[in-house]
Structure formats: C-alpha cells, structure tokens
Structure 1
C-alpha cells in the first residue's frame, strides 16, 4: 500500500465512566454508564485521517496483552498499515481513564504503558516509509525522541510535519523549527507560549520556528496563524454535544488528510472544523469519527441556503 500520511502513534484503550459532574478529592460516585473503547491520540488521529481518504501508516509500540491485539485488529479493519508497529511482549498496553460529565466535557488520565518504550531506532526502521509520504504527524503522548527522529527524516525529504502538542508540556527549543504545523487547543497554546491571549501566543511560537499554528477553539471554531499572512479564523458549528472525546484528534487527523491531498488552507480548515464538530455527536473517539462522505455531505448542507 502506498502511504501518504504516517503517524508516530500512541495507542491506548479508553476506560470511560459517565458521571454527572467532576469528582471532588476523596469523593466516590456511582457511574451512570461504562464503556471500553479504542483511544490514544495518535491512533485516533490516524483513524480520522484514514476515514478522510488518506492512506495511513503507523509507527508505534504496543502491549503484548489483549489491549495490544485490540489495536492491531482495529487498524486492520480501518485499512491502516501497521507493519512498523512493535509489540512489547509481557508489557501492559497504554490505558486512558476517562470521566465524562453531563455537559459533554471530560477529564482524562493516561498511562502510556508499552508506548513509552518507542525509540528513535523504531522510527529509523521505518525511514523508507517516512521519506516517501506527504505528511508525518505525532502528538506528545509518544516519546519526544521518536517524534524528533521522525521529523528530522521528514525534513530531509521535504515531508510536511504536524505536531499535536497534547498533553501540553515544555518542549525543547530545537524541536520547534522541525514543526511545519502545530495543532494545539486554546489552553495548550497559552501554556506553551506563556501568554494570555491566542494571537500573542501564536506569534511567540511562530518566532520559535513553527511554520503554522492552527489553534482549535471549541465551539468558536479554529484559527490559522502564519508569519507571512493575516490570521484566518474559521467559525464553529453549533452542535448538541454528546461528548467531546476525540474531537481534537479528529481535527488533527482530518487536517493531515486534507494537507496530504494538497487542499488549500481555507478548505483544509473547513474540513477539519466540520469533522471535529460532527465527532461530538456520539460517544467515544473512534466510534464518533465521521467518514469523508459524511463531512462532504454535511458541508454541502451547511452551505446550502435554507
């Protein structure tokens, strides 16, 4: 399979409990529902890209347990190339503990498990695949040494790099110039730049060498910042939210797929914005991700005068 998007991926199994509101310290509350669903920011974004028509390959390290096999089975069903996925025999797979509240918001604790052992050597083993694609993406759920190795290979071969800096953490100065597209949410952007407003924060990261900052703004949509252009704001879509799990990953994966097919920025943002909005209409991450046809139909309907 000819791959055009590669994801340096985390793979977690999401254990999701639904409760009315956030817990106080020391509090126990009965959950209204429980689900075990596929997750991990990298895997989620890869699946979102695949559903938007991209041919996707993974670089990942997963557990040798049943949760690890769950990932391999899922990627096979989604048509994703997993030849560079390594199993840590005897190791526990990554797991996310998620609390979902009545208003659709959530809190998440992630244990990386076997994914923490992903190294630059694993990435180097996939160098031929990385050199021949159009987009390489990663998140901060995978070790930074693996992300840097992938982005360095991409840079040498003119491949676009995309980083979703979640969970937000301080990043080394030499990584910023390797990032062509950064996709933080508003809180992550402000933390990374140590700023109080979105535009100031974006400009600070551009000054560090990032090519473009695409910040997701929840119900307010998203915005694109580049050093050589005026900011581009894309309004949000009013939705009756079921939950927001995976919305950011859906945005990132859809954006990667759009950029891989060389869509211009306004079109790429519109697709990512719409896919993320649609993903809030069902529970979970992967289960809620729309297909390319669904996004296209919805965009056409949204642009049709009533």
Structure 2
C-alpha cells in the first residue's frame, strides 16, 4: 500500500551507512597493518549526507531508503528526526544489518572508503513507487550510485513525468545506462568520475562532458574541489566556470561532495538559476571541510550566506 503523500521540496533516494573512521599517517600497502591516530563512529551514506546538507540549507526533505533493524539503523532514524527530515518512506528490514563504510583519513584530509551497503542493497523500485505521490509533488529528486539503478530509474521516471528536476551524483562511479542519463537533468561527477562515465581514458573534461551531453544529460557539473566546478549545458554553448573557495583550515574532505550535492538541490528547489545554485553549493562544500566527519561541519543556510554575502565592516 502506498504511503500518504508527504510535502517535500527535495526527495532523496538515499543510502545510509555508519562511518567507521580511522586516521592513519598514509595509505597502507597490501597486507600491511598501520596504527591509527584516532577512531570515530559517525553518520554517513552519500544519500543521508546529501539529505542532511539539503535540510540545513533550508529545504524540506524526505527520504526514500532501506535500513536494518539494528542499532545503526535506529541511529539513522534518530538523526533524521533531529535534522527535520521526513523518514516515513524509510523501510526497516527485520533481521538485516544496516550499511557500514570503513574510512581511512590521511594527514592532508584526503580519504579512502570501502562501503558495505547492507540492507540498503535491497532498496529498489518497490519502495520508490510507494513514495510516488511525494516524488511527484517535489521540486527536486536526487540520488547517488550508492543506491540501486532500479531505484533511481524508478524515481527519475516519476519525476520526469511530473516535471520534477532530477539530480544525480554518480559516485561511486559505475557504468550508467543511457535510459538513466536521459532522465538526468543535472549530473555532478568529479573529474575522475566524469571521464569514467564517458568511457574516455585520455580526454579533456570538455570532451567527457560533451560525450555525456550527447547521451542525454541535461547539464554536467564537474566538481573540482577547492578549484570550484565547471558547468556544461546541452544548449551547445561554452562551459561556465564557478570559482571555489580555499579554506584556511581543513580537517578532512569526508562529506564535501555530498554537501555540494545536497546544497545544490536545496538551491535549485528554492528557484536559484543553475549557475547561482552552483555558487551556493561550492560555498557550502568549502565550509564542510572545516570540521571532522561527513556531517560535522555541514553548514546552515545562514552560515553559507555569510560566506557568500559578508556583512561590510562598520
């Protein structure tokens, strides 16, 4: 039976993981054991992270997800309530474990991640179709490649049928069918993901973006870290560069891409034109790397506005 419709600006087809974060001096070699400087257990999952970033940017957010009936899953439900996110479309799977991500963070803030999706691997078209009315009434639907392609395809088909904008963060990178790319209004890969998706080993970002546009994507946004991002549209015009921010103190980059995605969705949902929405997303992602963990420093809308529109000194 379908759920009662939920009022949301943004619907996230979401993954949920608990992040097990170890801080190590360098990447370990195969078969090597390193002593970690510190260890944390923090909330994670690209979908959940993006949803939290989106909610902190002022959007009304609803999740479609699947979690285990365990302590990690219950922690997720408590977190979403605390963040003001509607979780009525989250399915709890009895007897299954929730997802876990094992993260190694290096001294420069970079990281390596291994994800075991757990109950999230069972998220598919059935759960999405139960949320069809909520999706149809939203302004933006977003997803990542941490959830099944069946779930994302189902959500994007509903969205396209009702004029709802679709946003896909194609991470972790995997081959994507043309049917999904044709339903994607905004695609947000990083440099490596862009070329992998385009099937081009040695090419420029321009060539990779144009290849994806020819396959039906409405807009390609390559995220470039502190260098900002670059936008290509399917209108055949020149690309548009959006400057990034260099923050003075970086704790780690975990969650920066998810902050970008969620903040972009929130800006689009409130009616910002895409180039302006990218400025908001860049600023929010830059602020997110000033704290530890995926959501520790995810900024509010007010904090992001203060970076973009600083008050003149008296």
Smaller-chain TM-score range?
Answer: over 0.9
Question: How many angstroms does 1:242 deviate by?
Answer: 1.0
Provide the residue aligned with 1:263 in structure 2.
272
SS at match of 1:190: helix
Q: How does 1:212-227 map to 2 (within 5 A)?
A: 212-227=219-234
Measured in 2, the distance between the counterparts of 1:168 and 1:238 equals 26
Matched, 1:178 2:183: yes
Q: How does 1:117-132 map to 2 (within 5 A)?
A: 117-132=122-137
Matched, 1:238 2:246: yes
Normalised by the size of structure 1, how large is the TM-score?
Answer: 0.97
Provide the residue aligned with 1:166 in structure 2.
171
Question: How many angstroms does 1:197 deviate by?
Answer: 1.4
Aligned residues: 304
Q: How does 1:139-158 map to 2 (within 5 A)?
A: 139-158=144-163
User: Which of 279, 292, 296 lines up with 1:287 in the alignment?
Assistant: 296
Measured in 2, the distance between the counterparts of 1:130 and 1:2 equals 9
Q: After the TM superposition, which parts of structure 1 deviate over 2 Å for at least 4 consecutive aligned residues? A: none
Question: How many angstroms does 1:190 deviate by?
Answer: 1.1
Measured in 2, the distance between the counterparts of 1:165 and 1:42 equals 12
Provide the residue aligned with 1:21 in structure 2.
26
Provide structure 1 residue ranges, at least 5 long, that are not aligned to the other structure. Answer: none
Measured in 1, the distance between the counterparts of 2:162 and 2:30 equals 50
Measured in 1, the distance between the counterparts of 2:274 and 2:127 equals 32
SS at match of 1:54: coil
Question: How many angstroms does 1:238 deviate by?
Answer: 1.3
Measured in 1, the distance between the counterparts of 2:216 and 2:308 equals 33
Residues 304 and 192 (structure 1), Cα distance of their counterparts in 2 relative to 1, 3 Å cut: farther
User: Which of 52, 70, 76 lines up with 1:47 in the alignment?
Assistant: 52
SS at match of 2:88: strand
Measured in 1, the distance between the counterparts of 2:309 and 2:136 equals 35
Question: How many angstroms does 1:265 deviate by?
Answer: 2.0
Q: Report which stretch shifted further, 205-214 or 292-301.
A: 292-301
Q: How does 1:206-217 map to 2 (within 5 A)?
A: 206-217=213-224
Write the deviation string for residues 64-98 of structure 1: whole angstroms up to 9, x where unpaired.
11000000000000000100000111101000000
Measured in 2, the distance between the counterparts of 1:266 and 1:136 equals 19
Provide the residue aligned with 2:3 in structure 1.
none
Measured in 1, the distance between the counterparts of 2:274 and 2:187 equals 14
Write the deviation string for residues 237-266 of structure 1: whole angstroms up to 9, x where unpaired.
112321000000000000000000110122
Residues 184 and 30 (structure 1), Cα distance of their counterparts in 2 relative to 1, 3 Å cut: same
Provide structure 2 residue ranges, at least 5 long, that are not aligned to the other structure. Answer: 1-5
SS at match of 1:289: coil
Matched, 1:32 2:37: yes
Provide the residue aligned with 2:110 in structure 1.
105
Measured in 2, the distance between the counterparts of 1:304 and 1:190 equals 42
SS at match of 2:168: strand
Q: Could you tell me whether the CA contact under 8 Å between 2:217 and 2:234 is conserved in 1?
A: no
SS at match of 1:281: coil
Measured in 1, the distance between the counterparts of 2:253 and 2:11 equals 25
Question: How many angstroms does 1:304 deviate by?
Answer: 6.1
Measured in 2, the distance between the counterparts of 1:2 and 1:178 equals 23
Question: How many angstroms does 1:288 deviate by?
Answer: 1.6
CA RMSD of aligned residues (A): 1.2
